[in-house]
Amino acid sequence: MSSGASPPEAPPSGGARPARRRLSVDRRREELVAAALELFGGRDAEDVSIDDVASVAGTSRALVYHYFGGKQELYVAALRSAADQLEARLRPSEAGGLVERPVERLGVGLGRYFDFVEERAAGFAALVRGGPANRSGEVGEIVDGVRHRLLGLVMRLLRVEEAGPVLRVTLRSWIASVETAALDWLERRDVDRRVVERMLVDQMVATLGVAARHDPRVVPLLENLVSEHAP
């Protein structure tokens, strides 16, 4: 007997529900790493929980554990992702190879570095600031590896084949200054980015001047830079 009401709409064939959006394994890992970087970039790793990452990623803590096993594994994966992104950004390009003057090459390299800082702020902050004070194990290897490759990049930009102890200390100290300046700019942004980049180039010239007083082998490099680095 009909009641006059319309019958309920029939479910899809086989009673199946509409399919949820499914992500590939790689894509899901990328989303979790991105969520982790957002958190690790703003807080110490000790203050970030798996639940925090799951909440930002819009998933369950069980899924985070499924993909990474624990917070340390996720932290390492997040830092490694940021390190790979930075190194890819700094990889020499054909355009960069057309720049002949060392100071100009250094300026181009700094520009690419700050591009990464600006566009991947959370990843940069997590890489150079986040984590435990005593960076050991895989975390230390990742961070130190990035700095070691940055040293090699700076040497190539300046066309230095081998750095003696004085020059090595000078260049590593300058790299630390670049990291500090980039973090300060990222947090405050009260100085034009290009001004910061020019200041760092000037700082390189100044620190090489100090190094040259302690090692005569630095003098030719300094003279080459000073001759083309008119104010």
Q: What is the 3-state secondary structure (H, E, C) of 34-47?
A: HHHHHHHCCCCHHH
- As a whole number of angstroms, the distance between CA 166 and CA 162 comes to 11
pLDDT tops 80 at residue 197:
yes
Domain boundaries, the chain: 79-228
- As a whole number of angstroms, the distance between CA 175 and CA 129 comes to 14
> By mean pLDDT, which of 64-68, 134-138, 158-162 is the weakest?
134-138
The pTM (predicted TM-score) of the whole model is 0.81
Q: Which CATH class is domain 79-228?
A: mainly alpha
The per-residue b/e assignment along 77-114, b for 16 or more CB within 10 angstroms, e otherwise, is bbbbbbbebbeeebeeeeebeeeeebbbbbbbbbebbb
- As a whole number of angstroms, the distance between CA 51 and CA 53 comes to 5
Position of tokens 């990291």?
A: 179
pLDDT tops 80 at residue 99:
no
What is the predicted pLDDT for the residue at 201?
Answer: 95
- As a whole number of angstroms, the distance between CA 107 and CA 203 comes to 12
Task: Determine contact, residues 145/121, Cβ cutoff 8 Å.
Answer: no
For residue 100, how many C-alpha atoms fall within 13 Å in the half-sphere facing its CB?
1
The neighbour count for residue 69, using CB atoms within 10 Å, is 10
pLDDT tops 80 at residue 15:
no
